[in-house]
Every structure is written in structure tokens, then in C-alpha cells.
Amino acid sequence: MTRLKNSLLLPLVVTLLNCTATGLGDASLQQRRQNVLNMRQEVLTELYALKPDTKVQVNGAAGYAVFTNANVNLVLASFGGGLGVVRDNETGMETFMRMGEVGIGLGAGIKDFRAVFVFHDRAALERFLDVGVSIGGQADAAAKAGDLGAAVSGEAIVDNVTVYQLTQSGLALQATIKGTRYWRDPKLNGRS
């Protein structure tokens, strides 16, 4: 029975992560880039409404990144994927990136969230663009569906980077240790 349940959930997980990671599959590269930039603006607008002081922090930082992510928790494992963009405030350069995460721990549910990274110095920004790996623990509860439910934004400061997380939709209860890898998206950073 468990094997049957897992075989039915696997296609759902793959489909969910693929949709989140690629945006509009048939859209042009320019439209996909614009979708990511639009997502960034929506997330920053929401963050500034929740925490007005973050606008000065983001604008005064070496750079910042905004990511969208869908995370699926299946009892002892957690999987996620998404995409985003990093802005170098000094040069104005935009770098489109992907992300993937795998975790272990107790959890159940699906969560759609956004993350904003604020890089307080140039070294933190360059390290993220070059290495793009994060390992950490997370314990949270999220319940939201459309305009119903609650969305909790968290804040963490590690190694000259402040991370804000905003839950968009989903239902999840989890306590996981996970590794997240961020990498440059070769297609979205190429020429259309």
C-alpha cells in the first residue's frame, strides 16, 4: 500500500516542482524573464508592506535575491524547487537562478513560499553567486489557501545575509534539516 501511495505521489511532486521551476513552459525566454521580474516586484511590495524598514535595507545592501519555491513534505523527506533573480545593487546586473532542495525530518504537506535574501556586503553576494549552497534546519507551520489561512514571515541573519520568508499558499507542518542549492540558470541568463 505504501509503495502504491508513493508511486502515485511521485508524479505529483515532479509535476509541481517542474511547474514552479520553469514558470510558463512554452513562453519565450523574454517572457519567462519578465515573469521572474514581476514575481520579484510582487514579493518586495509584500515584504515592504509587512516590514517597511526592509526597503532601506534592501536598497542599501550590496545586492539582494528573490526566489519563489514550492516545497513538498512526505513524512520523512522534503523536496523543493524554484527560481529567482539576484540583483547586484552596485552594477545593476540581474542574474537569474534556479534552486533545488532536499531535506530529512518529519513533515507533511505542500508549501509555496517566497524568499528574499539581502546581501549586506560584496563578499556575501559573490559567495552566493559562486557557491550557492545553504544547509540549515527549519521548523515551521503554515496554513494558507488563497486569501484564507495565515502567512507567517520569518527572518534569519547568517554570514552577512538576512533572509526573509513569506508563505504564499499551502498546508504544511514540518521540522526538517535540509540542503538547498542555488545555481545560475543558463537559459534565462542567455540571449533570447
Q: What is the pLDDT of residue 113?
A: 79
Which residues are registered as beta bridge partners of 114? 68, 166
Q: What confidence category does residue 66 fall into, taking pLDDT thresholds of 50, 70 and 90?
A: very high
Place of cell 519567462: 32
Q: How confident is the model at residue 4 (pLDDT cuts 50, 70, 90)?
A: very low
Place of cell 559562486: 130
Task: Tell me the residue range of the domain where 148 lies.
Answer: 2-189
Total number of domains in the chain: 1
C-alpha span between 180 and 131 (Å, rounded): 11
pLDDT, tens only, 145-191: 444 433 445 666 677 899 888 876 544 444 445 577 889 999 999 85
For range 83-90, the mean pLDDT:
97
pTM, whole model, 2 decimals? Answer: 0.72
| 150's grid cell | 495565515
CA distances in angstroms from 142 to 10, 148, 167, listed in the order given:
22, 12, 7
Contact yes or no for 32/137 (Cβ under 8 A): no
pLDDT single digits (tens) 16-42: 444 444 444 557 999 999 999 999 999
Q: Residue 101's pLDDT is what?
A: 76
Task: State mean pLDDT over 48-61.
Answer: 94
Report pLDDT digits (tens) over 88-142: 999 999 999 999 877 776 565 666 778 899 999 999 999 999 887 664 444 444 4
Nearest to 70 by CA among 50, 103, 99: 99
The pLDDT assigned to 56 comes to: 96
Q: Which residue has better confidence, 77 or 164?
A: 164
pLDDT of residue 17: 43
